[in-house]
Each structure stands twice: as C-alpha cells, then as structure tokens.
Structure 1
Amino acid sequence: MTPKALADVTVLDFSHLLQGPFCTQLLADMGANIIKVERPGQGDLFRTMTFNNRWVGGSESPNFLAWNRNKRSLAIDLKAPEAKEILYKIAEKADVVVQNFRPGVLAKLGFGYDDFRKINPRIIYCSGSGYGESGPYLSRPGQDMLIQGLTGLAAATGRGDGPPVPVGSGFADQIGAMNMVYGILTSLYWRERSGVGQEIKVDLMSGLLAHQGQEMLMAMNFGEDFKRPNSGIGHPGMEAPFGVYPTSDGWVTIAMSPFTKLVGVLGDDTLLTYNDPTLLFEKRDEIWEKLAALTRTWTTAALMEAMLAVDIWCGEVKTHTQVVDDPQVKHMGMITSYDHPVAGTVKVVAPAVKLSATPAAVERPAPLVGQHTREILREAGYSEDEVAGYLQRGTVAEQKSANP
C-alpha cells in the first residue's frame, strides 16, 4: 500500500455535525487513525439529519456520509463510570483530541485538555466552537448560517433589492474545519521540535472574519459598508462587468476582464461610453442590464467560445449534478465512491489536496455506530472478557448488524 503522511497519528474524535468531522476526515484522508467517539445507539447527531427527507440507501444520512469516511466508530457512554478509564487508556498513546461541543461540556465530564495532558503531556487538544469560550455570545448556538449573518457575509451577498443571502453551503463550518487542521498540523510540527503538545481553540466567528479580510479592511478603513448591487454583479465592491449573466440556455460568469474586449465580443460599441472606472462602478446595474440583454441572445457554448478566444475571464454556471460530468472535474478525478454496508455505493468528492509521495485515499466508508468498538478496545489492550463486560454493562456498544 502507498504510505500515508499521517499514518502514525491517532486522533480521539469527539466531534459531531460538520466542523469537527470535516477536520478529522481531512486528517483521515491523509492516513490518520481516527477513532470517532459516539453515543451508543444514536451516534453523531448528523446521522439523524438530512436534506429534503432524502436518505441514501433508504436510511443513511448524506450529511453524515459526506464527512466521516476513513474513520472507525467507538460507541461509548461518556457518563458511564468506566468511560474515563477506557478513554484515558486510549489517550495515553493518542496524539490529538478533537471536539466541538459547546464550551465546557466535555471538561465537566472529565475530558477537557487539562484531563488529557495529565495522562499524556504530548497530547494536542483542538476545540471548535461558534464564538470562542467566553464573552457575551457564549450561550448562543454557534450554527453556520447564524455566523454568516453575524460576520457580514450574508449582508454582502445577494441583490440589493432583496434580503441578505447565506452561501449555499456550510461555509463557516468548513472554514472552521480547515483552521482546525491548520492548527493541528502546526502543533504536530511544533511537538516534533519541543516534545510537548498544546491546546488549540478555533471558532467559527473568528474564522469567517479572517476569510473576509479584504472586505473587512475596506469597511473598517473607509468607514462604510459595501452596497449590494440590484443586478447580477458578483461582488458588492466590484464594478461591471464582474458578475453572472444569462444566456439563451443557461448562465455564464464574467470576472475581471477588459471592458473593451467584452464589448467587442458582444458587438455593441455604444457601450464604450461607459468605459471609465468610475462609471463602471456607479452605473454597474445599468451596464449589467445592457450586457445581459446581449448575452441572452447567445447560447452558453457559443458565448464561452467567443470570450475565451480573446482571453476574457469567464466560465459556465453549473448545478451540482452538472459538475459531476464537467470534463475538468473528470480529468482531475474529483468524483469517487465507496461501498457502504447499508447505503451501498456512495458517490463522494475525492480529496482535494494532491501529494506525490503520500497521496490521500478513500479507503473506508463512513462507519456505523459502534462498528469498531470491539476492535478499538482490543487495540487498547483490553481482553475479550473485559470487552464483553463493558458491553454487558452498557459502557460501550457495538454494531452487530449492517442493518441499524
């Protein structure tokens, strides 16, 4: 088998929903041994949530399947008297703990950073939250769309004559996951030099503010907010033609491109009267309407061919199902699949980061609740009789069948 860069890294993963699980899946794709700690029976809350009441294979959540491949599941009751003994024993040889419970919840149960570093000074403990671990928002729910609203992203998205628009994906959670990985890999590198672990704190609000750096800088230094355009201009700070335009059979995007080149393609020289940086911004909605009237007369394919021929920055607007058949997506191998014991063959997006010597791989499906409980406890050094005792007393649970 191809070696994996993180094959010697073991992660105790207490996380649920999106932020933490996406972080640990990214580590798992690079070979890390992820022990997903779940509640007996129900497991990760995402197992019970889906879109439009649609379930893969009739019973499996697409939300859960998307973020939990390449992991093993340990079902354990964190409130059981023997839970600490088991998890502390695993932590003796673990490298990383990841959790995104509300601040203080795991610490009250005896699974905080201070608890684990007493057992293993080399442990790296990464916590994800909505708003950090103190302050006036501490008791608020830290959900993705709420963070988009609080940090200015939703207010900067959409048309000016309509409501603020959240991004059509869990953007704050996924940025949070990336920041968790960033912190973990940085801490692993530091530990190689220092021999000690550390605590990492990542929150969604800080992450989304940091990823709006240029928009925040403009607002703070000029003392005014962007005004959303009423047209399909693609960013509240940009001038025409930057935006989304209709064609006779779809939509195209046009980015930062010389206005004269676009006018040349569309064939209406009267538009050149707008070719001034100030006018292109102040009249951007008006310009968009005039450009859109022309782009509507083209098919997407014909307009793309004409614009690309003169090096205009442009692209087709595709739906998720259309993206699957995109030739570049196919060329890059970005759609793959895994076989799940209940859901069957599940199509998924492949790892995005390519490493030449230690490539990422999808080698395990998302686990069933407690599917690997017995296996993980054996690896921790427990005998069959001890495992049987824990199972009998309900401290841990295992998935005995492929049918939940």
Structure 2
Amino acid sequence: MIAIMNGIRVLEVASWTYVPVAGGILAEWGADVIKVEHPETGDPQRGLVTSGLVPLGGVAHMVELPNRGKRSVGLDIKSEEGRELLLRLAAQSDVFLTNFLPAQRAKLRIDVDDIRAVNPDIIYARGSAHGQHGPEANEGGYDNSTFWARSGAADTVSPDELGYPVTQPGAAFGDVLGGLTIAGGISAALLHRERTGEALTVDGSLLSMGAWAMGASIAASAAFGVERIPRYRPADAPNSLVNSYATKDGRFVSLVMLQTDKFWPELVAALGRPELATDERFADHAARMKNNKEANAELAALFGARTFEEVTEVLSAGRGPWAPVQRPIDVLSDPQMVANNYLRELKDANGNAFQLVPAPLQFNGEPGDTRRAPGHGEHTDEVLGELGLDMDRIIELKVAGAVL
C-alpha cells in the first residue's frame, strides 16, 4: 500500500455521508484524518443504529462507509474550551473539511477567515447541498433530493408508464460520488499549494455533482431544446444491441454492442439463428433501426429460451461488450471484484466482520489502506495528548463537557 497522503493532516468538522466520504478516502490514501464530533450526540449518522436501519449489535455500515480509517475526537466546539482546542488542531492541519452551512460556520466562528487566522496555509474545503451562494445556500439537502431529483436524473431514468419518479439506486449513491470529487479537489489544492505556496478553498455540492453526472443530457437539452430525454422499454429500444434482455430463469443481461454490423451476425449465429444475419429486415444497422421492434423481439425470444448460465456462456465466447445485470449481493462474489481487490474484509470496533468497497483508485496496482471507522470519541485522549494536554487537564475538560 502506497500512502500517498502520508504526512497530511485533515481536520474534519462534518457529519452524515457526503463530505465525510472525502475524509474517509483521504484517510485510506494515508492522511491523518481527525473527525470532530459532539461529545454527547456524535455524528448524527451514528443514530441510525437506534433508528432500526441498522440491527442493534450489528455492523453500522453507514458509519463505516464514510468514516474509514479516521480518528474521532469528542469536542464541543460551541464551548470556548472546545473551540480553542479546535483552533489548536487547525493550526497543525493541512486541510479543514466541513459541511456546515454558511450561517452555521459564521455562528460557530469556523469560517474561512476564522480558520486561516490561526493557519494561513490551510486548505479550506466545503461541501453543501446547493452551493455557497444563492437563496438556498443555507438550506440542507440529501443526495436523493438534490443530487438525484433536482439534477434531472430521477426523471430521466423513470419510465413514463411507471407513473412516478424512481429513487436513486441505493443509500448514499450521490454522496459517495460527490465525496470522491471533493477528495480529488483537495488533492489538487494540496499540489497547487506545494507548487505555488497559495492555500485555496475547495467547494463542492450535491447539486453541482448531479448536474455533472447528467452533463450529457443537460447539454442535449440546451442544444436541441429537448423537454424530456427520451426513455424506452426494452421492447421499443431503438438499437437492439444496446438493450437488456431477460433470460429463462428471470435474470437479465445488458448488451452495449455499438458496432452493430460487426456483432449482429456473430450474436445471432451463436444464439442458433444465423439466418437473421441475412434477413432483409436486419441486413444492416439502418435496417435494424427501422425494424427495431422486430429485432428486439427476435433477440428477446432467443435469450428468453435460455437460462442465465447458458446465456453467459454464449456471450462470454463472443466479442461484443455485455454485462450481467447483478444485484449488490452478486457483486460480492464477482470474480473481477475479487481479482482486483475491489472488496476488503474488515472488523468493526466490536469485532464484527464486514466487507467494504475501497476507494475506486489504486496506485502502482495497490489499493489504499482500508481500516474500520472509529468509535465515538475513541481518540480524544490520544489527540489532545498530542496537543500537549496532560491527563489532569483532559479530565477537567471532560467534567466540563467540552470533550468526550
């Protein structure tokens, strides 16, 4: 493992998933990430254990996901003692990472100027729902709302006949993408500081991330005045080789064979219908596009007559790009996931075994150092000791409620 962020300290004053994911990625890359949590409540995400979303005594996977490898310090930054300690930590850090909204940062006196007053060289990174400006700058939001619904993604993926917009594919879908982007921005800002000496602010938002993800569709809407991006059922797909098909046993495969004239004859022959290659309805790409419903029906019948295993054998023997439509549980045993170390086996603070996906980048072919998330305030004594506080002073602060 190559700790490319070794020697970098990140001070994180953030909660939930979107911005903390950035800290978790930097920790996985070798940074010392200190997560500041309120002494009593901690990160609200920890409360999911008692909400029923995480079984009591089980692995708190939504805490582990964004908080991997960090050190947790219980600190009440509303108190003068707690804020003083925060500023002392900021003075020794390379990055200040937060998702507190502008009004909250001003009230707590942890905005850019406040932190730069004790450390002019610190990278100040902010993540929000709607950006730092505009009428909704002080409004919170989640990825299912701001990233998914507001960006046009929900509308675009929802079939008209469904009658309602679908939710995003899973918990934290937009959060983890946005967090990766912030981690990349911080990395670039650190490089810029090394080269020029200038400390930057880094801003990201769920809205900007959603718009970026939908960039091609937004550009098409602007260019052509398209009110709604076309969507279609598999039976109506304009290109039969860029489509999904059901197998006999209820599984699905996805084809993305863009060079249709190259792959159509090979595929239909492999599926036992070579005559479809010379059928005038399907003789070339233009003919298949014109007779798309018939082409879709022919392939649907061929795939539907075979089991998923049989279809997999046929497609694996060919050259055309395709993929099985997998459930998340299937991904755990995907041979490519295993071969490339895209899953890590870990144990949480209670010794419970679990699996976690590491950050999707490797350096010199090695994944980062994926470690468990810290317990609430697990490293308070350790970190404050590094600031020079002795145990008597730490106990005094604990009695006062300033630290955990």
TM-score (norm. length: structure 2): 0.89
User: How far apart in 2 are the matches of 1:298 and 1:52?
Assistant: 44
SS at match of 2:126: strand
Find the aligned partners of 2:35 and 2:376 in 1 and give their Cα distance: 9
Any unmatched runs of 5+ in structure 1? Answer: 398-404
Aligned position for 1:266: 271
Q: Is residue 311 from structure 1 mapped to residue 286 from structure 2 by the alignment?
A: no
AA aligned to 1:253 is: S
- Residues 1:395 and 2:397 aligned together: no
Once residues 366 and 10 of structure 1 are traced to their aligned partners in structure 2, the CA distance between those partners, rounded to angstroms, is 17
Q: Percent identity?
A: 28
Structure 2: gaps spanning 5 or more residues = none
- Counterpart Cα distance in 1 of 2:211 and 2:291: 29
Go from structure 1 to structure 2 and tell me whether the alpha carbon gap of 1:232 and 1:252 turns closer, same or farther (over 3 Å shift): farther
1:240 to partner: Cα distance: 2.6
- For 1:206-355, what aligned pairs fall within 5 Å after superposition? 206-224=208-226, 225-231=228-234, 239-249=239-249, 250-257=251-258, 258=260, 259-268=264-273, 269=275, 273-274=281-282, 277=285, 280=288, 284=292, 287-342=295-350, 344-355=352-363
RMSD between superposed Cα atoms in Å: 2.5
Q: Offset of 1:107 from its aligned partner?
A: 2.6
Q: What is the match of residue 190 of structure 2?
A: 188
Contact 1:125/1:198 (8 A) holds in 2:
yes
- Say whether 1:22 aligns with 2:26: no
Residue 126 of structure 1: how far off its partner (Å):
0.5
1:149 and 2:157 equivalent?
A: no
List per-residue Cα deviations over 1:239-292 (Å, max 9, x = no partner).
333122111122111112423433333344457614565665576566434422
Give the letter aligned to residue 5 of structure 1. Answer: I
**Amino acid in structure 2 at the alignment position of 1:392:** V
Q: For residues 146 and 55 of structure 1, do their structure 2 counterparts lie closer, same or farther at Cα, with a shift above 3 Å needed?
A: closer
Deviations 1:327-364 (Å, cap 9, x if unpaired)? 222211222222223252222223432212985112x4
Instruction: Report the Cα offset of residue 87 of structure 1.
Output: 0.7
Partners of 2:2 and 2:29 within 8 A in 1: no
Report if aligned partners of 2:48, 2:54 keep a CA contact under 8 Å in 1. no
Residues 67 and 264 (structure 1), Cα distance of their counterparts in 2 relative to 1, 3 Å cut: same
Distance 1:120 1:34, change over 3 A: same
Task: Measure the CA separation in 2 of the matches of 1:68 and 1:134.
Answer: 28
How far apart in 2 are the matches of 1:33 and 1:130?
A: 26
Q: Report if aligned partners of 2:3, 2:368 keep a CA contact under 8 Å in 1.
A: yes
Read off the aligned partner of 2:253 and give its amino acid letter. V
Distance 2:53 2:167 in 1: 22
> Please, which of 157, 162, 172 is the counterpart of residue 174 of structure 2?
172
SS in 2 for 1:127: strand
2:30 corresponds in structure 1 to 31
AA of the residue aligned to 1:391: K
Residue aligned with 1:42, SS:
coil
Residue in 1 that maps onto 2:199:
197
CA distance in 2, matches of 1:285, 1:205: 37
* CA 64–288 in structure 1, closer or farther in 2 if over 3 Å, else same: farther
Structure with higher helix content: 2
**Cα distance in 2 between the residues matched to 1:59 and 1:336:** 18
TM-score (norm: length of structure 1): 0.89
**Residue identity opposite 2:175 in structure 1:** D
Q: How far, CA to CA, are the matches of 1:366 and 1:209 in structure 2? A: 31
**2:59 and 2:352 in contact (8 A); partners too:** no
User: Does residue 386 of structure 1 match 2:393?
Assistant: yes
Aligned pairs (5 A) from 1:88-127? 88-127=87-126
- Give distance in 1, aligned partners of 2:86 and 2:183: 22
Letter matched to residue 231 of structure 1: P
2:346 and 2:33 map into 1 onto residues whose CA distance is 17
Q: Tell me if the contact between 1:57 and 1:344 (Cα under 8 Å) persists in the aligned partners.
A: no
Distance 2:193 2:165 in 1: 44
Q: Secondary structure at the match of 1:173?
A: helix
Equivalent residue pairs, number: 392
Amino acid at match of 1:48: G
Q: Is the 8 A contact 1:28 1:71 kept in 2?
A: yes
Deviation at 1:167, TM superposition (A): 2.9
User: Amino acid of the residue matched to residue 161 of structure 1?
Assistant: E
Shift of 1:159: 2.5
- 1:44-83 matches, within 5 Å, as 44-49=43-48, 53-55=52-54, 58=57, 60-83=59-82
Q: Which moved more, 1:215-224 or 1:130-139?
A: 130-139
How far residue 293 of structure 1 moved from its aligned partner, in angstroms, is 2.4
Q: Deviations over 1:165-203 (max 9, x none)?
A: 233133322221122112101110011022231211111
Deviation (angstroms), 1:218: 1.7
